[in-house]
Amino acid sequence: MRRKDREVTGIEDMLGIIRECKVCRLGMADDGVPYVVPLNFGYEYRDELLTLYFHGAREGKKIDILRKNNRVCFEMDTGHQLTREETACAYGFNYASIIGLGTVEFLEEDAEKIRGLNLIMKHQTGEDRNFEYGEAGLRAVAVYRLRAEAFTGKRRELPERRS
């Protein structure tokens, strides 16, 4: 990372950023052409492994790309705040972000899909419980996980304004 002064190195700090984010941008390559989609997600960090969970339609461009090439990158960010100054070049922007890469795999077993969906619901709603999905719902949805091979955190916190 070029700006070491903005690097977030502690795992608890990085997980704090992830907790604040509700949307993750998934970057894919479609025969060498980039394709990015914003997705709601859930996650877990266990045994020093970050795993992100997503869901969506069982067919479409994103699914087609992932079935051809399951190597992806991801990005999420939060803490957005513009700081205005007298000149345009002095303006600044607060943020915190996570960027990483990994491999996507589709979950086919009902128990795995339910676990992934529950992690998504937990992250999005704050409720740690088992939700009901129904057999038809489980058949209609694609659930997939991204096992992060590497990820980094970055934060820019602007100094407080001088009086």
pLDDT mean values, one per 10 residues, the chain (163 residues): 66 94 98 97 96 96 97 94 81 88 97 97 94 92 97 78 42
Q: What pLDDT score was predicted for residue 92? A: 74
- C-alpha–C-alpha distance, residues 72 and 145, integer Å: 11
Q: What pLDDT score was predicted for residue 163? A: 39
In a domain, 161, yes or no: no
In a domain, 142, yes or no: yes
Number of Cβ atoms within 10 Å of the Cβ of 139: 11
Domain that holds residue 133: 4-156
Q: What pLDDT score was predicted for residue 160? A: 54
Strands 49-57 and 7-8: unpaired
What total number of domains does the chain contain?
1
| Nearest CA-CA partner of 153 in 104, 95, 102, 81 | 95
The partner residues of 110 in beta bridges, in order of sequence, read: none
Q: Are 72 and 28 in contact (CB under 8 A)?
A: yes
In a domain, 162, yes or no: no
In a domain, 91, yes or no: yes
Q: What pLDDT score was predicted for residue 85? A: 78
- C-alpha–C-alpha distance, residues 27 and 42, integer Å: 17
In a domain, 163, yes or no: no
Is this prediction's pTM over 0.85? yes
**Residue 162: DSSP 8-state:** P
In a domain, 28, yes or no: yes
Q: What pLDDT score was predicted for residue 117? A: 97
What CATH number is associated with residue 49?
A: 2.30.110.10
Q: What pLDDT score was predicted for residue 127? A: 92
In a domain, 134, yes or no: yes
Strands 49-57 and 42-46: antiparallel
In a domain, 105, yes or no: yes
Q: What pLDDT score was predicted for residue 162? A: 42
